[in-house]
Amino acid sequence: MPRLILSRAAAAGIDPNRLAREAGMPSWLLADKTARVPSDYYPKLWELLEHTTGDPNSTLRVVGGYRVGELGLFDYLISTADTLGEGLEVVGPYVGSVSSNFRMDPGEQTETESTFNLYMINAEGRGRDLSIQSSLGILVSRIRQMTGRPIDPVRVAFAQRAPARHDAFTEHFGTATLDFGAPVDSMTYRLADFELPHVTADPMLAAVLRRYAAAMPPPPPRATEWPDRVAGVLEQLIDDAEPALDQVARRLFTSSRTLQRRLAESGTSWKLEVERARKRHLEQPAPAGVDRLGAPR
């Protein structure tokens, strides 16, 4: 995935070696075309590309030119499936073949629509926003190419703040409703679209590739670090008055907004974590001679 960015930088007349050095990538890593690139370089490269071009829409312009096959095994695992639905089922189990920094899990399902939630394990700030844009943008481009149809999602939700202008988002995501400041990054498609056949289907090749991919390391588990850290702080504060979100955020050296986003990415919320902490506190045995409310007995 970092090499995709570097190839686009070169096509735009930007020295990819300089961009890689500024991101901290060692020269030997650039020379070895088979090496797995550490995931923290990816968001850094998107930020550097945006800064170098001076174009806040550089990421969406890059993914607009993406072609199926550029991400190797992962692309072919999806594109060789018979239908769009079957191809999307491959994303979750095999995303580790292209990145150890993402998860895509099922979200809300209705009788007519299906939502996929995208989680990024290791990234912050603008680099994270651009990485999410690229992943959701590539998914849309891939679906259009595999089905041979100009399919637009129903909705696309971004945790990032709304940009000053939406033109580039509308151009890429088409008629989809765009939501910014959402608790989780996600994309929603119509269930009817899942029945569409792939013009790239190849059942025999699909079987071979899936056997190969199954031998690769699995994708990382969803991050639990933030709920665990919040639980640790709440354990210290729960005896006091109602713990405040900003108080816990300060102890974890982050902002209230970021903390809420991290909890949402981990499938929980501030309110739920406070309720769990209070329940754990009440279930703890009281010291001898003292009732649960602290009064002698």
- Kindly report the CA angle at 122 between 87 and 20, in degrees rounded to 5? 90
**Confidence category of residue 293, pLDDT binned at 50, 70, 90:** very low
| Total number of domains constituting the chain | 2
| 31 part of a folded domain | no
Per-residue pLDDT at 237: 82
Q: Domain end: 214, 234, 267, which one?
A: 214
Are residues 69 and 172 part of one domain?
yes
| Residue 235 domain boundaries | 225-283
| 238 part of a folded domain | yes
* CA dihedral of 265, 271, 272, 274, whole degrees rounded to 10: 120
Are residues 271 and 188 part of one domain?
no
Return d(Cα 148, Cα 167) in angstroms, integer: 24
Evaluate whether 71 touches 146 at the Cβ level (below 8 Å). no
Per-residue pLDDT at 24: 87
Q: What are phi and psi of 20, to 5 degrees?
A: -65, -40
Give the pTM: 0.71
| 79 part of a folded domain | yes
Give the 3-state secondary structure of 63-128: HHCCCCCCCCHHHHHHHCCCEHHHHHHHHHHHHHHCCCCEEEEEEEECCCEEEEEEEECCCCHHHH
Say if residue 212's pLDDT is above 90.
no
Note the pLDDT tens digit of each residue in 128-174. Answer: 999 999 999 999 999 999 999 999 999 999 999 999 999 999 999 99
Are residues 87 and 128 part of one domain?
yes
| 117 part of a folded domain | yes
Per-residue pLDDT at 97: 67
